[in-house]
Structure 1
Amino acid sequence: MTLDEKAKLLTGTGMEGFSGDIAVVGETNGLVPGAAGTTCPIPRLGIPSIVLGDGPAGLRIHPTRDGDTATYYCTAFPVGTLLASTWNPELVERVGEAMGNEALEYGVDVLLTPALNIQRNPLCGRNYEYYSEDPVVSGKMASAIIRGVQANGVGASPKHFAANNQETNRMASDSRLTQRALREIYLRGFEIVVRESQPLTIMTSYNLIDGVYSSESRDLLTTVLRDEWGFGGMVMTDWFGGKDAAAQIRAGNDLMMPGLPAQHDSIVAAVNNGSLAIEDVDVSVKRILNLVLASPRFKGYAFSNKPDLEAHARIARQSAAEGMVLLENRGALPFSAAVKNIVAFGITSYDFIAGGTGSGDVNEAYTVSLKEGLTNAGYNLDADMAASYEKYIASENEKIKPDTINPLAAAMPKVRMSEPVPARAEIARLATRSDIALVTIGRSSGEFADRRLKEGDFLLSAAERNLIESVCREFHAAGKQVVVVLNIGGVIETASWKDLPDAVLLAWQAGQEGGNSVADVLKGAVNPSGKLPMTFPVDYMDASSSANFPYDYQASVSTPALLPGNNTKTKTELVRNVDYTDYEEDIYVGYRWLDTRGKAVSYPFGYGLSYTSFEYSAARLSKTGGVFTVSVNVTNSGAVGGKEVVQLYASAPPSTLGKPAQELKGFAKTQELKPGESQTVTITVAESDLASFDEARSAWVTDAGTYKFRLSSSSRNVRATLDAVVERASEIKTHNVLNPREPLTLLNP
């Protein structure tokens, strides 16, 4: 290959819809219209382009094509946070298989999923794509998706590697954190993924880590990812990520996407002037070629453009229902046989939110609203109220003018319209002719912007609070019950109002079958078994990262600001939490902080109610060759069938490093247990899983002593405790890399 051909292979063919500095390099964008990008072909050598497609909730391509009467819809699956709430890797792997099959049949070779960044703060705009505040949950769920996708011969690309935990100024923000926090929290999920599912590719993040772009960090991409973890695949940038193409190649970032002419030129120039070794170029070329050789397109797969969307919709519906979390229930759910007539309040009852915006969006054929789902389940919804809401929604939508100038505007989250509140007399009248009331609260978010600590976002708006209070007052006065459904992508404040309704169902953003899935749970066709993969704090500022997050920053969005390398501020001009963010909470993210401090929470990590109850018995522990095996019998002690998630937390003996009160080390979900039925659940924990990272020794260190293993149904509900003895301390050495450039002032737990 010539140097020109090599440089072309290292840069993609551009991005559809952009011009100027973001010009198309190659001519392959039209292979699968709407796909995220393509690699550059080398026809002389028989090297084809391969196609890369978003995303985390299902494949995103254009649903229609010019001059073509066929449609190319994809399935909108539940968002990542909902899938994580199932705590069921086997089910999530089936979702991955369906996602990968659609990619295969539509001619996409790499699916850009999963997104497994840590939910460091409740207000990150992309938390809906991410799995958890805990790296074990994140790693296990992401591994399941990858196994499912790659079972089709399609590559998966876990992202965003690493420490991409805010959207504000995401292409120039510096994540400043300790080696320990990076290793234990922000890299741990990716390490689990590499070791357990062998993804074909990994996508680097936009941000800097302690002053170095992640895509330009050899310490991260070569020393840790490849030398320590054994990753053998290809690394690509996020779209337009990083600044210096030659530095990216030297670091071990092989492919620049979507590709810019300037990147090609800079690689050629760097080789010619000796600042980039041709050997480094050749290594990256070989990795890309290996991916091309493994691709369905190179192998000549005859994709059909006709995946089984009906079968995939059934998987979407099942997984969505299993991941919904029952937060409150005072006898309102499941609906009794007497419930026939329902009145649904709230815009989102009729305009259900399937998923977030940006790369996590999907062009699906339909979205089942809550109204439609309840009607499908045989309930009668108040027609007058439905007509009133639908008229209001149509009127408000007419006022929204699409942005035809900014090509990124379509990916931005839309501002939710104001919530109308019916008059008190109208609500009272509806209470007399309805059996029960539903109030749906909706939230949407996505790329480019974080959520805000304000009414209508983290907090209920005044109208939403008024609506819940008014409906509860009038329906309770009539002896009727009220259920609140949360159609949201991330945590909101619940402590101040959760006791008003009779039940609260956290439906998340459930994909295209969302309304049917909610109805399945409300009716009792599915017993909710979802558990929270994050904590709901009482107050936003209770979260350990809140003082170090741009919760009150008003960002403006323009194309130049979104591109890398445009931050020319001097050190004194840098804005805290925008140009840089200090991770002062260190390893104490989410429940690790709140449980250690004994802080009251609205809902704890791992929490979720059921329509039945479960008893734990006969907990026992054995040890073989440095691996603990923990078993417990779980019995359905209630009146209906259901599933239970057993969570294993470890509390360490006193350590000079300082440890959280407890950390999740494993989990397992039972099968559907009939009333009275039991199942023995087994969880294994290696001694090395108990290690903490000792920066002074550049090693993972497992202290000797007695660890408390807590079998729990949430981080705050311990069912059994066992002593696990580590007789000898041990350590696993690592490279001394990724040191922070400046010391951090850390919070005191």
Structure 2
Amino acid sequence: MGVQELDIDRLIEELTIPEKISLLAGKDFWHTVPIPRLNIPSIRVSDGPNGIRGTKFFDSVPSNCFPCGTGLAATFNKDLLVEAGELMGKEAKMKGAHVILGPTSNIVRSPLGGRAFESYSEDPLLSGHAASHIIKGMQNENVVACLKHFVCNDQEDDRRGVDTLLTDRAFREIYLKPFQIALRDADPGALMTAYNKVNGVHVAESKEILTDILRKEWKYEGATLSDWFGTYSTKQALEAGLNLEMPGPTRFRLALQTLHDVQSNRINTSVIDENVRYVLKLVNRALKADIPEDVVESANEDASASAILRKVGDESIVLLKNEGNILPLSKTAVKGQEKIAVIGPNAKVAQDSGGGSASLTTRYKITPWEGIKNKIEEGGNTVKLEYALGAFLDKCLPDVGDILVNEKGEKGVTAKFYKHAPGVENRELVDEYLLKTSKLFLSDFTSAKLPTGQLLFYADFSGYFIPEESANYDFGASCLGTAQIFVDGKLVADNKTKQTKGDAFFLGLGTREERGTIFLEKGKKYHVVCEFGSSPTYTLDDTCQEIGGVFFGFGINSPDDVEIMKAVEVAKSVDKVVLVVGLSKEWESEGFDRPDMDIPGFTNELVEEVLKVNKNVVVVNQSGSPVTMPWADKVPALVHAWYGGNELGNTIADVLFGDVNPSGKLSMSFPKKIQDNPSYLNFGSNNGQVWYGEDVFVGYRYYEKIGKDVLFPFGFGLSYTTFEIKDLVVKADDQNVAISVNVTNTGKVAGSETVQVYIQEVKPSINRPVKELKDFGKVFVKPGETKAVNLTISIKEATSFWNGYHSKWESSKGKYNVLVGNSSDNITNEGSFETSKTFYWLGL
């Protein structure tokens, strides 16, 4: 089709001041403002840390979901991350999106961070390389990457107001570093500012960060935009260089008020022009994607997409323990009939992603149970599978979108929207849908039969349920609005006449879940209806301008000890047990931080009791960040599987049964307990402030410095084969240090190993970490084969620290050790080099 690049200089001359002001904020939630008379088009953005949402929360076009950020980084595979980014770029174009709001490159400072799963690592170099290679992939498709959240957006507590206090050195070496690497290596077309303050000033209006560092020092030419509703001023933000306020319509760049500021010389016209220039640059860059204006959003159902998701998921999984080589499991029985039990709250649930803006409507999801069952079928069904729930994980009652059916027997929730409340005679039906979920965020619901902007409407969400066992069942709903649940016409749960404030929705505006219990008979068909009223019916806030939504569900009411007992009986009767445990998007999500590092509920008790009756236990943990594992020393096999996207069940089964040799490495340290983490005393908002008291000693930098043992170290991951890393050669000149090693597969199975290069200054002039990761390379090696890994690192990146006195990076003259191994605590090769001079530098 071809695109006509905008002549930015000419447009800045021709645009009126009101038109220029209009360009500096979004048109709506997902689009920029067009200027038709000058052929300036609107461009579309979309959520995208681990999948491309499109423009809708309600009834959205399904998406492919990638493993979470910490899982992507765990692949340690730069080329594969480019491939993942390219798939994201292709799918963005299918959703009509010119700009992907991602990747997220904040630091996993604490396991408790609500969005830790969405970031990449505790290590700034791994974070920067993961981000840069995903950005390269996205932008290979001419889709603009918007790197976020710049900077220090490392907790959710008080996220819009908290003042992050830290030293210049920590700011530069840890928190800015991933962004510096990504801008240097991949040049993302856009950058999203963080919600929080840094040293007293909101990032969105910080001249020091957005102008002095980003523009002047780093020479960045991309556009800056706010996080959603993360703009706090008009004049200060514009003068600092926040180019685009999102979303629209504007709150701070209203035409009349901003024009008044310009006309009264409070805001210089050159400030307006400079911000407009960057917005138009973004439009020009976005036009290269060549997306038709009338594009209809579509899902990517190509089998090649599933293959990439599976490959990325396979390489993300980390084998943490395998005593007695209990893994891999066999698909076929060796003698007689063998039995495997699959037990746990995550066994028959697909934990595809964390919560908040990273969560989306997936095209399909494979549960661990399904993945394991498919492998057994491949083996001819000679292995028998057993199942037990064992323990509950749900914070609220589970989604029942795949349990309810309609009159035709089709799975899903029947949604009927009305103008009037239940009980009104001849209610007018507005719209009808069959939805995949009972977790319904209706913020963008519209209907041609409702007046534009009308917030008040009603809906009945219904379906039929046939219980598999006779028991008491809990029904519950949380909402922004009002909700009541009826079973065969009987009111069971009431969130209408009694409402209590809670944290429903990642906006944190809704109620707590209200529950009720009813006895249901096995095999009997029940009609379940959730009657919903939109936000004007809400009894706790009459100023809410959101449409609202409802999360409803149900599940069997059973005492925790009874479920554990059932699981123990199953575990007694089988040869091996796969325990699938961990967290979910209800516990790791945008909007709040975890209160502790523990797995909620009775999972730990479940593991302990199963171990008493069966010693052949494989634990598969799914979480985006570390969890406490008091049973870790007792289980013979432990696999960490993150949130695995669409293909999570298949990827877990691939590794468990040895079709894939695990090669993932931990992208963060797993401490034994939260009190061991360096941020423990300084996490969360303390009267509006958070002090980064650990300074540069984040993650392994801290544990190694004080000699603290961890459960599993940074960069750690086992394989079904063995490797030898040897023959280290180090060559250095004034510009670069070149490092080469040979990797030999000394086992019997083909596999991949990650060579990790750490640098250590021998006699540092300041207090530095024991060593710091400076590069890595992953190589696939067949049994008996040897392959070379060659890495080149610039001297300035290999050696420098931030000198606060000079306000520059310093590379000191002296000797440096090169430490090479396959995890932060397993250095197998040592070399060294010397630099001939001390020098200082700034920039990328």
Q: Normalized against structure 1, the TM-score is what?
A: 0.85
**How many angstroms apart in 1 are the aligned matches of 2:274 and 2:507?**
37
Give the alignment partner of residue 334 of structure 1, picking from 328, 331, 334: 328
Is 1:582 the counterpart of 2:691 in the alignment? yes
C-alpha contact (below 8 Å) 1:347/1:419 kept by paired residues: no
Q: Report what 2:38 is aligned to.
A: 45
Give the alignment partner of residue 54 of structure 2, picking from 37, 56, 61: 61
Is 1:317 the counterpart of 2:310 in the alignment? yes
C-alpha contact (below 8 Å) 1:350/1:389 kept by paired residues: no
- 1:293 Cα shift? 2.2
- 1:163 Cα shift? 0.8
C-alpha contact (below 8 Å) 1:74/1:309 kept by paired residues: no
Q: Report what 2:479 is aligned to.
A: 403
The more displaced of 159-168 and 237-246 is 237-246
Q: Report what 2:97 is aligned to.
A: 108
Q: Report what 1:25 is aligned to.
A: none
User: Which of the pair has more CA radius of gyration?
Assistant: 2
- 1:733 Cα shift? 4.8
Q: Report what 1:439 is aligned to.
A: 579
Three-state SS of the structure 2 residue aligned to 1:58 is: coil
For 1:381-413, what per-residue CA distance to the aligned partner results, in whole angstroms no more than 9, with x for missing partners? Answer: 645637999999669996331413499943379
Is 1:467 the counterpart of 2:606 in the alignment? yes
Q: Would the alpha carbon gap of residues 298 and 249 (structure 1) be closer, same or farther in structure 2, given more than 3 Å must change?
A: farther
Is 1:235 the counterpart of 2:224 in the alignment? yes
Over aligned residue pairs, what C-alpha RMSD do you find?
2.7
C-alpha contact (below 8 Å) 1:419/1:464 kept by paired residues: no
**How many angstroms apart in 2 are the aligned matches of 1:233 and 1:242?**
18
For 1:34-61, what per-residue CA distance to the aligned partner results, in whole angstroms no more than 9, with x for missing partners? Answer: xxx1111112222121111002001013
Identity %: 35
Is 1:626 the counterpart of 2:735 in the alignment? yes
C-alpha contact (below 8 Å) 2:388/2:566 kept by paired residues: no
**How many angstroms apart in 1 are the aligned matches of 2:211 and 2:96?**
31
Give the alignment partner of residue 209 of structure 1, picking from 195, 198, 202: 198
Is 1:291 the counterpart of 2:425 in the alignment? no
- 1:219 Cα shift? 1.3
Three-state SS of the structure 2 residue aligned to 1:400 is: strand
Give the alignment partner of residue 646 of structure 1, picking from 755, 764, 774: 755
Amino acid at match of 1:333: L
Q: Would the alpha carbon gap of residues 358 and 419 (structure 1) be closer, same or farther in structure 2, given more than 3 Å must change?
A: farther
Q: Would the alpha carbon gap of residues 399 and 731 (structure 1) be closer, same or farther in structure 2, given more than 3 Å must change?
A: same
Q: How does 1:383-462 map to 2 (within 5 A)?
A: 385=388, 399-405=475-481, 409-411=504-506, 420-422=560-562, 426-427=566-567, 429-431=569-571, 433-444=573-584, 445-453=588-596, 458-461=597-600
Q: Report what 2:792 is aligned to.
A: 684
**How many angstroms apart in 1 are the aligned matches of 2:589 and 2:791?**
35
For 1:203-241, what per-residue CA distance to the aligned partner results, in whole angstroms no more than 9, with x for missing partners? Answer: 000000001110101111111112111211100000011
The more displaced of 267-276 and 539-548 is 267-276
**How many angstroms apart in 2 are the aligned matches of 1:387 and 1:699?**
56
**How many angstroms apart in 2 are the aligned matches of 1:147 and 1:733?**
24
Three-state SS of the structure 1 residue aligned to 2:721 is: coil
**How many angstroms apart in 2 are the aligned matches of 1:673 and 1:385?**
39
For 1:548-588, what per-residue CA distance to the aligned partner results, in whole angstroms no more than 9, with x for missing partners? Answer: 003xxxxxxxxxxxxxxxxxxxxxxxxx5351111111111
- 1:63 Cα shift? 7.2
- 1:83 Cα shift? 0.4
C-alpha contact (below 8 Å) 1:240/1:259 kept by paired residues: no
**How many angstroms apart in 1 are the aligned matches of 2:348 and 2:384?**
11
Aligned length: 675
Three-state SS of the structure 2 residue aligned to 1:313 is: helix
- 1:249 Cα shift? 1.2
Is 1:277 the counterpart of 2:268 in the alignment? yes
Q: Normalized against structure 2, the TM-score is what?
A: 0.76
Q: Report what 1:158 is aligned to.
A: 147
Three-state SS of the structure 2 residue aligned to 1:13 is: coil
Q: Would the alpha carbon gap of residues 387 and 469 (structure 1) be closer, same or farther in structure 2, given more than 3 Å must change?
A: closer
Is 1:548 the counterpart of 2:682 in the alignment? yes
Q: How does 1:179-190 map to 2 (within 5 A)?
A: 179-190=168-179
- 1:709 Cα shift? 0.7
Q: Report what 1:483 is aligned to.
A: 618
Three-state SS of the structure 1 residue aligned to 2:820 is: strand
**How many angstroms apart in 1 are the aligned matches of 2:842 and 2:159?**
32
Gaps of 5+ in 2: 1-14, 378-382, 401-466, 482-500, 514-552
The more displaced of 352-361 and 122-131 is 352-361
C-alpha contact (below 8 Å) 2:390/2:564 kept by paired residues: no
Is 1:498 the counterpart of 2:632 in the alignment? yes
C-alpha contact (below 8 Å) 1:421/1:466 kept by paired residues: no
Amino acid at match of 1:448: G
Q: Report what 1:197 is aligned to.
A: 186
* Bigger proportion of residues as helix: 1
Give the alignment partner of residue 117 of structure 1, picking from 85, 106, 114: 106
Is 1:534 the counterpart of 2:668 in the alignment? yes
**How many angstroms apart in 1 are the aligned matches of 2:561 and 2:315?**
32
**How many angstroms apart in 2 are the aligned matches of 1:342 and 1:276?**
70
**How many angstroms apart in 2 are the aligned matches of 1:80 and 1:128?**
6
